[in-house]
Chain A
Amino acid sequence: MHGARPEPQTASPRKPQTAFPRKPQTANRSPMSDLTRVIELFQLPFMQRALLGGVLTGLMGGLMGSFTILRQLSFFSDALGHSALLGISLGLLLGLSPSSVLLPFAVLFALGVTYLLERTRLWTDALLNIVYSSSLAIGVILLTFVGQYKGGINNILFGDILAVRQGDLVVSTVLLVVCVVFVGLTLRSQILLTLHEPLAIASGIAASAHRTVFIMLLALVVGASIKAIGVLLISAFVVIPACAARMLSRTFAGYVMLSAVLGAMGAVLGMVLSALLNLPSGPAIVTMQLAIFLVAIVLPRAKLSTV
């Protein structure tokens, strides 16, 4: 069956989009001129929106990620990211923009996965694998019917933080506030649920309701961030800052806050790196998150363990 249907143009492998149009190289480039160029870049409105978008995504990913990794749900964000391609393809087929499809799709995905997990009682990672690989397969098939997608498959795979608009920032800000309020007001219950779910139920916590709300919020965070980060890298925003924070934290409350802060820090450093070296921004941010994680591993624990 090879070659029965020509590959859609959108699915052709291309180099991920670079962050900025490369300026003509000059022979006497100095670190100072690089810095000036970066500062100039961050004065542009689209760069400021991108930076703000990165910080908001970093904060949300770090905050929700701190619970996600401890509850061994890391793979959920990855699976949702991959499955989002199905949502995007459906949207394109129906003539809707990816942004308007992603959030409802994320919520439906979260509810569907929760239902399947409770219904089948299979292992979470195995079930998520079924869900994401099949939705990825269906998504790619649907894309072949769409024809040329002007955004390009690269934008779906790796995101385009520079294309973040005012409306996206409003959605991210509202979502961040909801996450902070939810986690803040239920922190004790969340900690107990993370430590031992039966004990939490015995203490009167409605575990099932909490689980559903948490997974829906996580899905919304991932869904809202896919446009900027892409389906392939979004799980890094949830997992890496939280793991770095775990290496540096002693208290639970400190860990949750540090995870959010490191998420934002990774975004800022990644944007600077991206502007400085003219790299695609999503991968640059994830690289900086990795750098933070490696530093967290290497740093002597004793000095930082007061957090």
Chain B
Amino acid sequence: MSTAVLAVEGLTVYRDTYATVQDVSFALEAGTDTAIVGPNGAGKSTLIQAILGILPRRSGDVFWLGHPLSRRGVLSPKVRQQIAYLPQNFLFDRRIPITVNELVALGWDDLGLKLPWANQKQRRLAVRRALERVDALHLGSQPISRLSGGETKRALLAYCLVRPRRLLILDEASAGLDVRSESDFYQLLYQLKQEQGWAILQISHDLDMVRKHCDRVLCLNRFLRCQGTPDYALAPDNLVAVYGSEFVRYRHHH
């Protein structure tokens, strides 16, 4: 178990009186790319939020790099820093005055009590390197309100990249991008994954992308219906179990 970046055992999460995620167990190995697929309301975001400690869990255990996540969602800061999480609607309020440099720097900071100007030099250098790597150095002083969808995603990748990580968690990372920008985003993401040795856990609705890039697939519809390689997990029988037969007929005809 100590080799797993993330281990989830018998996780059950309730929203009010309804179990949105029930008895889910899986493990993520270092450097692998795992997709969570399932219809809307299947509990994908709930699962991710529970394993990060954002939502409380009813039962089950979560281990990050061998460290347990407490019932109250507390995890050692050293472990937290090795995980980057990009929520689906991150930066939805573009009226907040913040530049790309400041946003990326937030990914670098330890978030304890610190003077605002502490480690300014190292922070600036790390931000510069991260932006350079995603070809967005010119965007550094731009407010986020002026970025296009594609530029925003690059800034967010710089936010993940600004300090060494073991695992990226993406909740529909490509949402809101057109086909071209989406393709650019995934190209850059997988280049960085290779370089950095990231493991990725991502929620995706794009089954073709999942088939192309991911090593493993978790099919979720409240329960974990199946897990395995894309060829196995996305086989028609399994898709029927997760999405229902209508969806599979639709995909077959298109």
- Please list the residues of chain A having a beta carbon within 8 angstroms of any beta carbon in chain B: 70, 184-189, 191-192, 194-196, 198-205, 246, 249-255, 305
Contact = CB atoms under 8 A, between A and B. Distances in A.
26 contacts: A185-B113, A185-B114, A188-B109, A188-B111, A188-B116, A191-B98, A191-B102, A191-B106, A192-B106, A195-B103, A195-B106, A196-B87, A199-B87, A199-B90, A202-B52, A202-B87, A203-B85, A204-B77, A204-B111, A246-B95, A249-B97, A250-B97, A250-B141, A250-B143, A252-B96, A254-B97
Given A191-B106, A202-B54, A202-B83, 10 more contacts: A185-B113, A185-B115, A186-B113, A188-B114, A188-B116, A196-B89, A198-B87, A203-B80, A252-B96, A255-B97
Interface of B: 49, 52-54, 73, 75, 77, 80, 83, 85, 87, 89-93, 95-99, 101-103, 105-106, 109, 111, 113-116, 141, 143
Given A188-B106, A188-B111, A204 B75 contact: yes
A255 B99 CA distance: 11
Contacts of B103: 195
A78 to B, nearest CB: 20
Contacts of A195: 90-91, 93, 96, 98, 103, 106
A196 B90 contact: yes
B143 A192 contact: no
Nearest to A258: B97
Contacts of A305: 143
Nearest to A207: B54
Given A199-B85, A201-B53, A202-B53, A252 B115 contact: no
A189 B98 CA distance: 14
B54 A201 contact: yes
Contacts of B96: 70, 194-195, 252
A253 to B, nearest CB: 7
